[in-house]
Amino acid sequence: MSEITYAEIEKAESIDLEKELTFENQFSELITPHYLKYLFKRNEIDETLKLRKFVLNKYKSKRSLLRRIKSPLTYVGIIILVAIVTFAVFAAWLSPYTMTELQGIDMTRSEYQPPDAQHILGTTEFGQDVFGRLMWGGRVSLTLGLGAIVISVTIGVIIGVFSAYTGGITDSIIMRAADIIMAFPSLILLILIIASFGQQDIEMIMYVFGILGIPFYSRLVRSSVLQEKEKIYVEAALVSGAKPGRVMFRHILPNAMTPIIISVTFDLGGTILGFAALSFLGFGPSGLVEWGADINTNRIKLMDAPWAAIWPGFMVMLAVLGFMLLGDGLRDALDPRSKA
């Protein structure tokens, strides 16, 4: 059995993959013409077939997710998010101050201090280190965003798949309820709910954000499932005796996950921005180390001590930008229909 030469590799690379390597051509060219030959000459391997296999494997290797992300801006977004997550996760080790110290008042520095060797980004009105509050604030924002998205996606996916698969009056009732909730402005509805409960803690805010996101994911999943449920593999699963629950979540859902993954990255940035806006308006938990709360507290000294408000605002912008760039790259990589 001879090895593939460089000339054959160049020939393989010149093949029009879009034309030659469709599913039908792969099946017919790799199997059908050589089947009878293998019955009589099992020890021989056709060089043309070997070359086709080489091209096919090389083509498949290029379909990995990282290879499909071609935009440099997407990698910029990944770097931004890795940096923010690293500072947030390891805040206890990277920050010279604990959460308790950053929430207290330093009587020796009870006013705004500009950046110096001890406080590289300056201090707040109560002598709290701005850099330390940025790291701990990132942990709060990411925890809230991830928690809210998990609630929205988990419940929204279940409702959306069930609604699309069952159809009929059940589907109509669920979708009309989702439409009613989505008709209200989210931020105003958040303020009304939080004000009605009379308490402001991060767990309650996370649950409210998560619940308000359920209708969006229900509709998103429903539209994908409606497309998938008409395909042949669903009918084949039903004919083989698969139960409806298995068909919905084992066969249909994995093929409808692409728009969900893309939307999650965008919504993470939107949730962080929404929580920052809520804290800026004074509806966040009091005393919480969080970017939006720092902007609200220090905005009155924006001209005298700009570092105290600008840096938290910059971190909000950076986090949202990172998620948006990542989401944009994933959309191009996972959804070929989005490409021009």
Write down the pLDDT at residue 16. Answer: 47
Whether 97 has a pLDDT exceeding 60, the answer reads: yes
- pLDDT, average across residues 98-120: 72
Write down the pLDDT at residue 68. Answer: 60
State the pLDDT confidence band at 294, using cuts at 50, 70 and 90.
confident
Chain centroid to CA 55: 33
- pLDDT, average across residues 48-77: 62
- pLDDT, average across residues 84-111: 77
SS3 123: strand
Alpha helices in 90-198 (DSSP H): 91-94, 99-103, 130-166, 168-183, 186-197
- pLDDT, average across residues 208-229: 86
Q: Which residue has the higher pLDDT, 197 or 266?
A: 266
- pLDDT, average across residues 258-279: 85
Whether 207 has a pLDDT exceeding 70, the answer reads: yes
Write down the pLDDT at residue 34. Answer: 47
Q: Which residue has the higher pLDDT, 102 or 311?
A: 311
State the pLDDT confidence band at 187, using cuts at 50, 70 and 90.
confident
Whether 150 has a pLDDT exceeding 70, the answer reads: yes
CATH T-level topology, domain 72-338: MetI-like fold (1.10.3720)
State the pLDDT confidence band at 82, using cuts at 50, 70 and 90.
very high
Size of the chain, expressed as the number of residues it contains: 340
Write down the pLDDT at residue 152. Answer: 92
Write down the pLDDT at residue 42. Answer: 43
Write down the pLDDT at residue 92. Answer: 83
Write down the pLDDT at residue 83. Answer: 92
Q: Which of 9-13, 75-79, 306-310 has the lowest mean pLDDT?
A: 9-13
User: Where along the chain do the CATH 1.10.3720.10 domains lie?
Assistant: 72-338
Percent of the chain with pLDDT over 70: 74
Write down the pLDDT at residue 111. Answer: 74
Q: Which of 14-23, 47-56, 76-85, 153-162 has the lowest mean pLDDT?
A: 14-23
Beta bridge partners of 129: 123
Q: pLDDT tens digit string along 273-284?
A: 888 888 887 777
User: What does the mean pLDDT of the chain come to?
Assistant: 75
Buried b (16+ CB within 10 A) or exposed e, 167-179: eeeebeebbeebe
- Per the CB < 8 A criterion, the answer to whether 332 and 69 are in contact is yes
Write down the pLDDT at residue 253. Answer: 78
How far, in Å, CA of 129 to CA of 97, rounded?
8
Q: Which of 31-35, 227-231, 320-324 has the lowest mean pLDDT?
A: 31-35
Written in H, E and C, the secondary structure of 198-218 is CCCCHHHHHHHHHHHHHHHHH
State the pLDDT confidence band at 45, using cuts at 50, 70 and 90.
very low
Beta bridge partners of 123: 129
Does the predicted model carry a pTM greater than 0.85?
Answer: no
- Per the CB < 8 A criterion, the answer to whether 157 and 254 are in contact is no
- pLDDT, average across residues 250-256: 77
How far, in Å, CA of 330 to CA of 262, rounded?
6
Write down the pLDDT at residue 155. Answer: 92
Give which of 153, 161, 155, 150 is closest to 245, Cα–Cα: 161
How far, in Å, CA of 6 to CA of 230, rounded?
46
